[in-house]
Amino acid sequence: PLFRNARFETSIAKPSGLPSPSGPEIAFAGRSNAGKSSAINTLAGHVRLAYVSKTPGRTQLLNFFRLNCGALMVDLPGYGYAAVPEKVRKQWQGLIESYLKHRESLIGLVLIMDSRHPLTPLDRQMIDWFAPSGRPIHILLTKSDKLTRGPATATLQAVKRELAPLGEKVTVQLFSSLKKTGVEETETVVARWLAA
Ligand code: GDP
């Protein structure tokens, strides 16, 4: 499994601190509280891997995890958290924007959204920053266990329809860290990026 045994490697606070590329990078982004840390932990099969990203002082950083295959998983700061000063929020957004727009070794973006509140304005902002690169975006609609089958499928279809104008580089799936559903689908998509 692609994300198993991922190991924390380094954290950076500003674009100037980015390590020189040492493998293809897969970024994970999402609104704070969307379920990003849980999704990373579930994919890695590690209860507290992304905990490192949640420790005070680390939430504003880009955290790099090395996968067994040599690729890197990059956990971006959760955005949209209301209880931080505007100035700090601007700073994180600047860091995320610069990374998404300019990082050569970044080959794809996994965007985590709460399946009950998909495609918020900030989620669209991430897509707008990254889509021009022509690289793929895979959306995890997580906490899907909180929806029954009908509404879950309806949400999946609605998000797909909404993003259809961006073409085949955008893919969408349901995911649940609680039920551990969707893991294989995510692995398959990201493995395809790495093999391309
Ligand atoms: P982050 O801020 O995006 O890293 O979000 P967390 O992973 O910390 O999750 C935020 C909250 O949502 C926590 O209370 C989690 O327990 C809960 N949560 C995360 N994923 C799921 C899921 O798949 N199902 C359910 N029911 N709750 C989840």
**What is the per-residue pLDDT across 84-119, written as a single tens digit (0 to 9) for each?**
788 888 888 899 999 999 999 999 999 999 999 999
Asked if pLDDT for residue 30 goes beyond 80, the answer is yes
Asked if pLDDT for residue 82 goes beyond 80, the answer is no
Q: Is the CB of 182 under 6 A from ligand 1?
A: no
Residue for token pair 């590329």: 21
42-56, 89-103, 170-184: segment of lowest average pLDDT = 42-56
- What is the per-residue pLDDT for 58? 63
Token couple for 101: 């727009």
Ligand 1 atom nearest to 175, measured from its CA: 23
Asked if pLDDT for residue 189 goes beyond 90, the answer is yes
Residue for token pair 């999704």: 39
Dist. CA 143 → ligand 1 center (Å): 7
50-64, 105-119, 130-144: segment of lowest average pLDDT = 50-64
Q: Is the CB of 178 under 6 A from ligand 1?
A: yes
Q: What mean pLDDT, rounded, does the chain reach? A: 93
Asked if pLDDT for residue 50 goes beyond 90, the answer is no
- What is the per-residue pLDDT for 116? 98
Ligand 1 atom nearest to 36, measured from its CA: 3
- What is the per-residue pLDDT for 52? 63
Residue nearest to atom 28 of ligand 1 (CA): 143
Dist. CA 38 → ligand 1 center (Å): 6
Ligand 1 atom nearest to 33, measured from its CA: 2
* Half-sphere CA count of 184, side-chain side, radius 13 A: 1
- What is the per-residue pLDDT for 70? 97
Residue nearest to atom 6 of ligand 1 (CA): 35
d(CA 22, CA 2): 17
Contact 52/134 with Cβ under 8 angstroms?
no
Answer yes or no: CATH 3.40.50.300 is held by domain 7-195: yes
First to last CA, the chain: 18
- What is the pTM for the complete model shown? 0.96
Q: Is the CB of 35 under 6 A from ligand 1?
A: yes
